[in-house]
Each structure stands twice: as C-alpha cells, then as structure tokens.
C-alpha cells in the first residue's frame, strides 16, 4: 500500500455484479451509513453501523492499493500512537482515585481505539476516491439528508417528547433494557432526553443520536452541507425548501439548551458572511444578513426567547466542568504526565465533600469519572 499526496487512479475492485455496488454505487459503505442512519438508529445499531462501515471503507481502500492523505497527516498518526500507548498505564493507580486493577478496563479503552481508527478511515475514504467515482456534491447530499431527518426528528420530539420504543438490539443484547445504563442509552431509540437544570423538566432533542450533545454536535456540522447541497440542487423543491427547513430548525436549536451549538452557528454565520464578502457575492451576503435579522427578530418576539435567556443565566455545569478539568490536569501532571492514565478513573464523593454522592433525584451530585465530560447538560 502506498501513500500519495495527489489523487490516485482509483480501481473499482468490487465486481460489477455486486448487489451493493449496483444499488448504492462504488462508495456504498459511506452512502449506506449516511442515508441508512435513521434505520440503524431505529434498530439500535447506529453506533456499530459506523464502525462496520469504517471496516468496509478500509477494505476498499486496501484493495485499491493507494490512499491519499491530507497535509500534516503525520501529526494525527503521532497522536494515534500516543493514544495507543495509553494501554501500558491502564492499570496504573491515579492519585486520589478509587479504581482497582479491574481487568475489564481494557474494554472501554479498546472501544475508544476503534472509534479513533474508524474516524481516521472515514476521513481518508472520500479523499482517496476520485471525483469521478465519488463527487463531493454527492457526499454533501448524503450529509444533507441526515441533517433533514435530524431536524424532522427533533421537531417530532418537541411535539411528542416522551416517544420512545424498544429496538431490536435491545431485545438481543443481555441487560440492554436496564434503564440508565450506557448500553441502554446506546441501543434505546428515543426522541428526547429530559433535563431539569432550568428548574423544570425541559425535553432536549437527541434523535437519531444517543445524547442531546451528540445531536447538537452533529447538526451543527451537518448544517453547512445541507445549505450547500440543497441551495445548489437541480430540484426546485429542494431550493425552495431551504428557508422552510431552517425555520423549523430554529425551534429545536433553541430548546436544545446547547450553548455550544448556539455559538457554533454564530461562528459559522460570521465565517460565511466574511467568505461571501471576500468573493464578491453580495446578493448571497445580503440574503444571509436578512435571514439572520428575521430569524433573530422571530426568536426575540417568541416565548422561546425566555428559555434561551434562562439557559444563559443558568450556567449549570460551568463550575463543575472547570473543577473536573483542574483535577484531571493536576492528577495527570503528578501521576503520569507523559501518557495520562489511558481511560477514566472514579473518585469518591463530590468536589465539596467526600460524603456527597449521586442519587436518583440528583445524579450529578457525585463527581464524574475523571477524564469524562463533567455533564451532559450543555
């Protein structure tokens, strides 16, 4: 296998008679993953579908014999090596933690390793296929389709927030139906998750993903692809539908309570405005400005604005996350400054008292495992 810096001549090794190639095209692993994601979510296998698709992509790239990598890819490879070296400190004691030498600690470590490798494959896959085989606009359209479904699912979540159902994977995997577990969250399809940090229960959209934060991260990244694909579509109904979909998108964005998503949309909008101004596309620039002003006016004049302001006035997890970051940095610096500890570590009590702990009414009253996000409330 050779790594090249220019787009290679791609050999289509899959047989022409292959059912997957005939139905989905040569890039069937990526297309099937993105367009089929609602089905994978409904079956409870969305997380595993990505890993499986990455394996199929890796096999295709191997058979083609050449891989095109982006600039400075060596830095990412060094990171992967550094991450993998964490296996040697998995059972090292981290100061201030209570973890024993559990042999199952290797399982979450390997799970993260698989995800890093899958992400690497997913990045290299479209780069390593010629534009003749995999046009960039095709990928944008597939990503746009996932964005539209995510918007529709989030709107449905606002209308029927408690809608959920048992997936096929839940029926098969032992213990998957135990509510509150990591496995249950991964395999159980639900439109929303309820959060109470505003003083009342607020359903937050998450379908077709496992967590509200995952929904926010994904729709924020998918949004530009949707605008590019549908605004430039040959189908008139898609071009006309762009403002309609974006208008629908505003409500779940507001009720997601996701400040990172709000900030991301603002940054993307400013970046798009600067790019349009520099390229001289003044008509598109003024359209973006007008849409932004109208959207802001609608939000300010609606009941949603009070929810947004209440979220801004309720930082909720800021201090907790800051404390976790401080403890993690201090623990790592004094215990294993070069490699860290490979995976998360549990601590007793909370950050105010060792007597404090979580409960069914306050699951965040305990300190989170060091190395994990402090809260899912953003």
Condensed to tens digits (0 to 9), the pLDDT of residues 218-267 reads 999 999 999 999 988 999 999 889 888 988 898 888 888 888 888 888 88
Q: For residues 178 and 334, which has the higher predicted lDDT (pLDDT)?
A: 334
Structure tokens at 315: 């930082």
Which residues are CB-contacts of 41 (< 8 A; sequence separation ≥ 6)?
Answer: 189, 207, 208, 209
Query: CA separation (Å) from 184 to 178, 205, 360?
Result: 6, 17, 17
List, in sequence order, every beta strand (DSSP E) within the chain. 2-4, 66-68, 192-195, 202-205
Which pLDDT tens digit goes with each residue over 50-68? 999 999 999 988 888 778 8
3-state secondary structure of 196: coil
Which residues are CB-contacts of 172 (< 8 A; sequence separation ≥ 6)?
Answer: none
Query: CA separation (Å) from 221 to 75, 144, 146, 354?
Result: 23, 10, 11, 40
State the pLDDT at residue 141.
95
* pTM (2 d.p.): 0.80
Domain map of the chain by residue range? Answer: 2-132, 138-313, 318-365
Largest CA distance in the chain: 66
Gyration radius from the chain CA atoms: 23
Decide: 330 and 347 in contact? Cβ < 8 Å: no
CA distance linking residue 116 with residue 120, whole number of Å: 6
Strand partners, 370: 345
Q: For residues 283 and 58, which has the higher predicted lDDT (pLDDT)?
A: 58
End-to-end CA distance of the chain: 43
């Amino acid at each position: 296998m050779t790594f090249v810096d220019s787009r290679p001549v791609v050999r289509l090794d899959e047989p022409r008679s292959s059912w997957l190639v005939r139905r989905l095209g040569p890039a069937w692993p990526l297309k099937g993953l993105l367009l089929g994601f609602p089905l994978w979510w409904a079956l409870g296998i969305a997380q595993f579908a990505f890993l499986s698709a990455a394996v199929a992509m890796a096999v295709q790239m191997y058979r083609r014999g050449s891989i095109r990598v982006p600039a400075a890819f060596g830095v990412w490879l060094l990171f992967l090596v550094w991450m993998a070296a964490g296996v040697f400190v998995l059972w090292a004691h981290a100061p201030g933690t209570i973890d024993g030498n559990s042999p199952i600690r290797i399982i979450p470590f390997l799970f993260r390793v698989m995800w890093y490798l899958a992400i690497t494959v997913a990045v290299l896959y479209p780069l390593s296929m010629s534009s003749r085989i995999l046009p960039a606009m095709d990928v944008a359209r597939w990503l746009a389709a996932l964005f539209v479904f995510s918007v529709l699912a989030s709107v449905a979540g606002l209308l029927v927030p408690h809608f959920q159902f048992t997936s096929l994977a839940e029926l098969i995997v032992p213990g998957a139906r135990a509510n509150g577990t990591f496995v249950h969250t991964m395999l159980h399809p639900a439109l929303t998750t309820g959060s109470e940090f505003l003083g009342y229960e607020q359903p937050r959209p998450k379908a077709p993903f496992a967590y509200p934060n995952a929904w926010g991260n994904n729709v924020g990244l998918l949004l530009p692809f949707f605008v590019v694909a549908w605004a430039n579509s040959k189908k008139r109904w898609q071009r006309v539908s762009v403002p309609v979909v974006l208008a629908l998108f505003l409500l779940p964005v507001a009720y997601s309570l996701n400040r990172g998503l709000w900030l991301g949309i603002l940054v993307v909008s400013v970046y798009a405005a600067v790019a349009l101004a520099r390229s001289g596309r003044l008509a598109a620039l003024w359209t973006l400005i007008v849409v932004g002003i109208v959207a802001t006016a609608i939000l300010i004049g609606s009941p949603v604005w009070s929810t947004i302001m209440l979220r801004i006035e309720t930082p909720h997890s800021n201090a907790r996350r800051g404390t976790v970051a401080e403890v993690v940095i201090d623990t790592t610096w004094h215990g294993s400054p070069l490699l860290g500890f490979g995976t998360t570590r549990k601590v007793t009590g909370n950050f105010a008292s060792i007597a404090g702990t979580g409960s069914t009414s306050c699951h965040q009253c305990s300190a989170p495992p060091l190395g994990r996000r402090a809260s899912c409330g953003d």
